[in-house]
Amino acid sequence: MTMGIFLQILALGVLEPGLDQNLLYAGSKQTPAGFLSCMAGVRPALTFIAAWIFSLETVRLNQRRSQAKLIGTIIMAGGAIIIGLYSGPTISSSFHSDVREQESGLKEDYIEGSTYVFISVGLICSLHHFIGKSCYEIPCTSCPYGVRLLDRSYH
């Protein structure tokens, strides 16, 4: 294992369980659940767009397959945003009390919480980007032909 591969694996280990999940948890305590679900729904669309920008995904507008990818991304992102903006009826619970809210230490700071969530979404997109790049760069030593993992010639 080279030092470059070790640093890539280390970066992958820090991004997902360390930074991403902790920032998402901190953001979930300070933002409404609708906003959090909207950002979670937009995450795959942003990952696809980032893969397209960094040439991990090829899109040719004259092919039906690429058109389906773009239309699916637009529909998915639009649906997630509409669901996030929809505020349904308030559900009251007999277990809800104002005293427990004050004791739990939950506070609503939308700017700070949404910043945490945006950073978390950016980190998960970069995690998928790093995984894609790592699969192209790490050689598969068990294969006698020297094929790399997820080699582009086999797509």
Cα 90 to Cα 96: distance, rounded to the nearest angstrom: 12
CA atoms within 13 A on the CB side of 17: 3
The pTM of this model reads 0.65
Confidence of residue 63 (pLDDT cuts 50, 70, 90): very high
Question: Which phi and psi angles does 143 have, rounded to 5°?
Answer: -90, 130
Reported confidence tier of residue 134, pLDDT bands at 50, 70, 90: confident
Query: What are the tens digits of pLDDT across the range 31-57?
Result: 887 788 888 888 888 888 888 888 778
Tokens 């773009």 — which residue? 70
Q: Cβ contacts of residue 19 below 8 Å, gap of 6+?
A: 119, 120, 123
Kindly tell me the burial class for residue 96, based on how many C-beta atoms sit within 10 Å of its own C-beta (0-12, 13-18, 19 or more). exposed
Nearest to 36 by CA among 79, 84, 77: 84
**How does pLDDT run across 3-38, given as a tens digit for each residue?**
887 887 787 787 777 788 888 888 888 888 778 888
